[in-house]
Amino acid sequence: MVTNTEQSVADHYTRGSLLETILNGIKKAGKSVDSIQHEDLAPLDEFHLGGREATRHFLGQMGLTREMSVLDIGCGLGGAARFCAIEYGSILSGIDLTQEFIETGKTLTSWLKMDDLISLKQGSALELPLEDSSFDAAYMMHVGMNIPDKAKLCRETARVLKKGGSFGIYDVMKTSETPLNYPVPWAENSDSCSIGKAEEYLQALADAGFEIQTTSSRKEFALEFFRKWKQKMSVSKSPPPLGLHLVMGENFFEKLTNFLENIQTRRVAPFEIFAKLPE
């Protein structure tokens, strides 16, 4: 059952005509459904700070291998899941609250002929529609900022992981008590924002039975990413045919500008956390 909070999150991300918008972008890029490649979709289908570069850095630390069963929590359009399947040969399952993301992600996966490796399903991270002890690894990228109950999130993840299973988190986290500037990519205002501190995640993971392996800030990476983004925008004056602006909506520039300011003023920073269940 979807809660009111979860419905608000789903509504925030729903565009109503996302697939049509992406098709128009593909045409503007001089591509077609038959010719589109995974790399062509990278600027669009990885909805987190740093895109493909961040995905490669993050997932590269998880020790993923061929035929591992991996869960992508908050999979969005499935871009990171498809990367994981191509890069490591893993079998991916993705869960996301937003039905439009799931339906669009299934279509993108079908275009790339990857249906045999990837399964996307609408559902809540707090009530995963999945069997106990069914995954070798799980990860989430920029998801916890929309989930108030970090403790339940970690318990549910622990439930579906096998013994010795690993859990990677790449999230934006609070680094001060100063209120954020809104809107940001994950929330229009403070009412719909559930951003937490790294300590909150670490406690929730420990309480769920995870052993913490590493925790690191990606603030400098984020600042460099935004520096390059601003440089590109100053040259082109308009976004590319395929990019996150298609997913984020008309106020995408304001969201990203506020996101950068929140990092620069030490309100937030992206962090990576890696944890593991005991054998």
H-run or E-run covering 83:
helix 79-88
- Model confidence band, residue 230 (pLDDT cutoffs 50, 70, 90): confident
| Res 2 pLDDT > 80 | no
Q: Which of 140, 269, 167 is nearest to 216 (CA)?
A: 269
Q: What is the C-alpha to C-alpha distance for residues 70 and 135, in angstroms, rounded to an integer?
A: 6
pLDDT for 212 equals 98
Q: CB within 8 A of 204, min separation 6: which ones?
A: 150, 151, 153, 154
Q: What is the C-alpha to C-alpha distance for residues 238 and 223, in angstroms, rounded to an integer?
A: 21
Q: What is the C-alpha to C-alpha distance for residues 76 and 167, in angstroms, rounded to an integer?
A: 18
Q: Which residue has the tokens 């100053």?
A: 234
Q: Which residue has the tokens 């600027």?
A: 43
- Model confidence band, residue 1 (pLDDT cutoffs 50, 70, 90): low
| Res 237 pLDDT > 80 | no
Mean pLDDT (the chain) is: 95
25-55 pLDDT, tens digit per residue, is 999 999 999 999 999 999 999 999 999 999 9
Strand partners, 118: 92
Q: What is the C-alpha to C-alpha distance for residues 93 and 130, in angstroms, rounded to an integer?
A: 10
Strand partners, 268: 174
Q: What is the C-alpha to C-alpha distance for residues 34 and 111, in angstroms, rounded to an integer?
A: 7
CATH of the domain spanning 4-276: 3.40.50.150
Average pLDDT over residues 246-262: 94
pLDDT for 91 equals 97
DSSP 115: T
Q: Specify whether the CB–CB gap between 48 and 54 falls below 8 A.
A: yes
Torsion sign (Cα): 20, 26, 29, 32? negative
Average pLDDT over residues 56-61: 97
Q: CB within 8 A of 29, min separation 6: which ones?
A: 40, 240, 241, 242
Q: What percent of the chain has pLDDT over 90?
A: 90
Map out the domains of the chain as residue ranges.
Answer: 4-276
DSSP 145: G
Least confident of 103-112, 192-201, 226-235: 226-235
pLDDT for 107 equals 97
Q: What is the C-alpha to C-alpha distance for residues 271 and 217, in angstroms, rounded to an integer?
A: 4
- As a three-state string, the secondary structure of 174-223 is ECCCCCCCCCECCECCHHHCCCCEHHHHHHHHHHCCCEEEEEEECHHHHH
β-strand pairing of 268-276 with 161-174: antiparallel
Strand partners, 166: 137, 276
Q: What is the C-alpha to C-alpha distance for residues 101 and 110, in angstroms, rounded to an integer?
A: 14
H-run or E-run covering 258:
helix 252-264
Strand partners, 139: 72, 168
| Res 227 pLDDT > 80 | yes
